[in-house]
Structure 1
Amino acid sequence: MVQPGKHDEDGVPMVNSGDVLADAQGHDISFKVARSIHEKFKRSTLKGGEILLTLVGANFGKVSIAPSDYEGFNCSRAVGVIPVTSDSEYIRIALQSQLVRYYLDTWVNTTAQPTFNLSDVANLPIAWAGKEIRNAIVNHIGSISKKITINTQLNQTLEAMAQAIFKSWFVDFDPVKAKMNGEQPQGMDEATASLFPDKLVESELGLIPEGWNIASIKDFGDVICGKTPSKTNANFYGGNVPFIKIPDTHGKIFITETSDTLTQAGDESQPKKRIPENSICVSCIATVGQVFITTKPSHTNQQINSVVPKDQNSLYYLLFYFKGLNKHFHDLASGGSATLNMNTSTFSKVVLVRPTPDVLEAFHNAISGLMEKMLSNQLENATLSELRDTLLPKLLSGEVEL
């Protein structure tokens, strides 16, 4: 799809390169194109089971298999679609080999940004062994991939549990409504229930619990718009400081690894753009509404705004609040131009409901265990991915015998 246009909430989901990187499921695809545009580019409509290959950007050459719930979705021009009828898992694995990487890097056009021509995909050579060996490679690599998938699915469950608590407390106001009816809030101890009032009052955002107030994002913490250090200075890149871009964030709540890093010199070249561990970040240009948390001092590019909370007890509250504002963020970013852009000033002034500090602390404590387990699973997946990527070329070359 060459020109997807603006996000259309009633349109057709469009798979982009970030979704391929994240092995995203159908419900994770947030960007939708108008059905009239989809009709013009029906050739790239998915059925499920196709191999998807990223063609554009720093992360070109990443591979995934379209899950069955992608049926009817379309793809951006940054994603190549490879229809296959058999051996899809082996082909996916082989496309991640060093041999294929060599040809990707050799044939890529780097005039503007890395771009691999779709017409060259059919000419990529892959190692092709006998059926028995192909199956053995799939089984070995598949066992690692299966564990990664299990961890990812577990994290989705944990996130849903945390989201349910957030919705009960801060969207539906269940504890307040229970107390208004003279009842004990369900599943809540007396000490926590005592933190909630028994009355709702009017506000500019509608009814909210008495004693809570309305505040802008900038009232919760310092808002920092990222910046890219000069690419002409090679000494700025290749160190230990994460440099976060939108493709690093898809399908993740915590950022534990990035494709690009900064050196100490790169970090110190823009000290006012440095954000600490446990900052909460939102993508605000092009792919709008990705929300994630840093796990170490980091930098982001200019497509991302970050909030450094004044009170760490508001961290998870802001995370789930921002996730619920996805449509609002998209509306603010529309502004008449083809590319979505929510500037830092607009983002900073978005108003939120602000609970009392003791309620924020109770919520933070209530879901901290869930969030810590999610981070642990993400870190394990990073280790497993590294193992898989190390083992794969040895299996394909025969260096490691099956």
Structure 2
Amino acid sequence: MRSKIPHHWKWLPFESLLSEPLRNGIYKKKEFHGRGTPIINMGELFGYPRFDGSCELKRVELTEKELDKNQLVCGDLIFARRSLTAEGAGKCSIIRKLSEPTGFESSIIRARLDQTKADPEYFYYLFNSPFGKWLLGTILRQVAVSGITGSDLAKLEVPVPPLNEQSLIAKQAISIDDKVAINTSINQSLEQMAQAIFKSWFVDFDPVKAKMNGEQPEGMDTVTASLFPEKLVESELGLIPDGWNIESIKDFGNVICGKTPSKKNADFYGGDVPFIKIPDTHGKVFITETSDTLTKAGDESQPKKRIPENSICVSCIATVGQVFITTKPSHTNQQINSVVPYDQNSLYYLLFKFKGLNKHFHDLASGGSATLNMNTSTFSKVALVRPTADVLEAFHKTVGGLMEKMLANQLENTTLSELRDTLLPKLLSGEIELGTSEELVEAI
């Protein structure tokens, strides 16, 4: 690895770049929680890698001395000191903005760089690149949980360009992440728009109620309005539009519980078939990439578990209620139940219906067990309102453009993320030069 850095860069111990020693966060007993100083926990470290103060933080009562020792400032890097998974250990985030004095908890290591030597943004991107994760993996310790220690991190030798080059590299990576953030924000707005239409049609029954009052449904053309009945009737799920039915999830499509192909067979993994696990699904409506893939042999080892493009999936064990749509023929692990719709016009209806059933799914998965588990049989029997086929078709067409734009933005984000993740390794290896990489990013 060391031979693959430009000749004018240096390998230096991480501690030589710090303005003060690495520090673990503070632990406080439960009686001190719920008031006082906002504190960053592991959830924020993983959920907000470029922390900008936009989320609500838990609070802990800290003395002035404790806050002085455990306060974060803009530019600080924070690392996950331990994690249940090897992938999570050493996860690095950067503090970009804080609205008030903020501390950090004991599972986190704080690194405060000497900014006359080191640009924090460069090192944030270094530690989040495949090369940086490999570096952190060299100090990973695995006992009961995976983790890194401050002493090992301090001694870790890292590639250090001149300060001006650090800033140029960081600037390019930031420009990519900013484009990703814009796309993500647009997708959130698009999803909210589709969700609002779903709620109006299928939760509040606004078109039906308008017609009951002799009014034209607001914002709806006469052809679409004609598809809705003029009264509500009683059902086992409460009032529903006349002519609509109550059916089980299994009546909407073939329900398939995933399965993990044998890990003992190396020939099953590393191909082109997505193998979806719950960590691949967080914050996504469409699954466009996965951390694990199957080969043709892995795919064919369990043909009954294969799900096609435009299947709708729900996580049902441990993390319950993640809902997403496949974009390629795929497999999932056993924590996910998938519905292969008999009618593709029900796809987006089921997506938003399942999202609205999150609490119900959690209740079904509780069952007195420490681990949430909604088995396939229970999931399959959940009762849903089935609108008429023409209403489902109209909804699918109405929100289809929004959903297609969301998918396009998500695919673009995948491309941008791949560019960002390969930028530093290509610079390290000399495959591209700094000037060339600037032109590459500008061309996006």
Matched, 1:401 2:434: yes
Matched, 1:137 2:169: yes
Task: After TM superposition, give the deviation of residue 250 of structure 1 in Å.
Answer: 0.9
Distance 1:310 1:236, change over 3 A: same
Check conservation: 1:333, 1:341, Cα contact below 8 A.
yes
- What is the CA deviation profile of residues 285-314 of structure 1, one whole-angstrom value per residue up to 9, with x for unaligned ones? 111111100011100001111011111000
More off after superposition, 272-281 vs 131-140: 131-140
Distance in 2 (CA, whole Å) between partners of 1:186 and 1:299 is 42
Matched, 1:117 2:163: no
Task: After TM superposition, give the deviation of residue 142 of structure 1 in Å.
Answer: 1.1
Check conservation: 1:15, 1:73, Cα contact below 8 A.
no
Task: After TM superposition, give the deviation of residue 284 of structure 1 in Å.
Answer: 0.9
Task: After TM superposition, give the deviation of residue 134 of structure 1 in Å.
Answer: 2.4
Matched, 1:207 2:239: yes
Structure showing greater radius of gyration is 2
Q: Structure 1: state its 5+ residue gaps.
A: 3-11
Distance in 2 (CA, whole Å) between partners of 1:226 and 1:72 is 46
Matched, 1:300 2:328: no
Task: After TM superposition, give the deviation of residue 145 of structure 1 in Å.
Answer: 1.2
Matched, 1:340 2:372: yes
User: In the alignment, which of 57, 63, 66 is matched to residue 85 of structure 2?
Assistant: 57
> Which amino acid in the other structure matches residue 414 of structure 2?
A
Normalising to structure 1: TM-score of the pair?
0.83
- What is the CA deviation profile of residues 106-144 of structure 1, one whole-angstrom value per residue up to 9, with x for unaligned ones? 33346788x233544454443344442222121111111
Task: After TM superposition, give the deviation of residue 91 of structure 1 in Å.
Answer: 2.5
Check conservation: 2:130, 2:421, Cα contact below 8 A.
no
- What is the CA deviation profile of residues 360-397 of structure 1, one whole-angstrom value per residue up to 9, with x for unaligned ones? 00000001111111111111111111111111234457
More off after superposition, 103-112 vs 319-328: 103-112
Distance 1:74 1:290, change over 3 A: farther
Matched, 1:248 2:280: yes
Number of the residue aligned with 1:283: 315
Distance 1:13 1:159, change over 3 A: farther
Distance in 2 (CA, whole Å) between partners of 1:27 and 1:289 is 24
Q: C-alpha root-mean-square deviation of aligned residues, in Å?
A: 3.7
Number of the residue aligned with 2:268: 236
> Which amino acid in the other structure matches residue 216 of structure 2?
Q
More off after superposition, 161-170 vs 343-352: 343-352
Distance in 2 (CA, whole Å) between partners of 1:284 and 1:233 is 26
Task: After TM superposition, give the deviation of residue 259 of structure 1 in Å.
Answer: 0.7
> Which amino acid in the other structure matches residue 57 of structure 1?
T
Check conservation: 2:51, 2:97, Cα contact below 8 A.
no
Task: After TM superposition, give the deviation of residue 90 of structure 1 in Å.
Answer: 2.5
Task: After TM superposition, give the deviation of residue 244 of structure 1 in Å.
Answer: 0.3
Matched, 1:380 2:412: yes
More off after superposition, 59-68 vs 260-269: 59-68
Distance in 1 (CA, whole Å) between partners of 2:328 and 2:280 is 15
Distance 1:107 1:80, change over 3 A: same
More off after superposition, 332-341 vs 197-206: 332-341
Distance in 1 (CA, whole Å) between partners of 2:350 and 2:40 is 26
Task: After TM superposition, give the deviation of residue 152 of structure 1 in Å.
Answer: 0.9
Matched, 1:368 2:396: no
Check conservation: 2:312, 2:324, Cα contact below 8 A.
yes
Number of the residue aligned with 1:158: 190
More off after superposition, 339-348 vs 232-241: 339-348
Distance 1:188 1:71, change over 3 A: farther
> Which amino acid in the other structure matches residue 85 of structure 2?
G
Number of the residue aligned with 1:327: 359
Give % identity. Answer: 64
Task: After TM superposition, give the deviation of residue 26 of structure 1 in Å.
Answer: 9.3
Distance 1:275 1:201, change over 3 A: same
Check conservation: 1:24, 1:251, Cα contact below 8 A.
no
Task: After TM superposition, give the deviation of residue 325 of structure 1 in Å.
Answer: 1.1
> Which amino acid in the other structure matches residue 322 of structure 1?
F
Distance in 2 (CA, whole Å) between partners of 1:352 and 1:254 is 23
Normalising to structure 2: TM-score of the pair?
0.76
Q: Structure 2: state its 5+ residue gaps.
A: 1-25, 28-38, 436-444
Number of the residue aligned with 2:9: none
Distance 1:176 1:26, change over 3 A: farther
Distance in 2 (CA, whole Å) between partners of 1:328 and 1:156 is 23
Number of the residue aligned with 2:217: 185
Distance in 1 (CA, whole Å) between partners of 2:326 and 2:45 is 18
Distance in 1 (CA, whole Å) between partners of 2:400 and 2:340 is 18
Check conservation: 1:90, 1:134, Cα contact below 8 A.
yes
Distance in 1 (CA, whole Å) between partners of 2:141 and 2:209 is 60
- What is the CA deviation profile of residues 69-115 of structure 1, one whole-angstrom value per residue up to 9, with x for unaligned ones? 999999999x74546587542231121345533333333346788x2
Check conservation: 1:201, 1:208, Cα contact below 8 A.
yes
> Which amino acid in the other structure matches residue 254 of structure 2?
D
Distance in 2 (CA, whole Å) between partners of 1:365 and 1:74 is 48
Distance 1:155 1:133, change over 3 A: same
More off after superposition, 304-313 vs 134-143: 134-143
Check conservation: 1:18, 1:247, Cα contact below 8 A.
no
User: In the alignment, which of 253, 259, 262 is matched to residue 227 of structure 1?
Assistant: 259
Task: After TM superposition, give the deviation of residue 319 of structure 1 in Å.
Answer: 0.4
> Which amino acid in the other structure matches residue 340 of structure 2?
V
Check conservation: 2:129, 2:422, Cα contact below 8 A.
no
- Secondary structure of the residue that 1:126 maps to in structure 2? strand
Task: After TM superposition, give the deviation of residue 65 of structure 1 in Å.
Answer: 4.0
Distance in 1 (CA, whole Å) between partners of 2:100 and 2:358 is 24
Number of the residue aligned with 1:217: 249
Distance 1:142 1:27, change over 3 A: closer
Number of the residue aligned with 2:4: none
Check conservation: 2:250, 2:380, Cα contact below 8 A.
yes
User: In the alignment, which of 171, 176, 180 is matched to residue 203 of structure 2?
Assistant: 171
Number of the residue aligned with 2:421: 389
Number of the residue aligned with 2:133: 101
- What is the CA deviation profile of residues 331-362 of structure 1, one whole-angstrom value per residue up to 9, with x for unaligned ones? 22122222211111111111111111110000
- Secondary structure of the residue that 1:107 maps to in structure 2? coil
Number of the residue aligned with 1:9: none
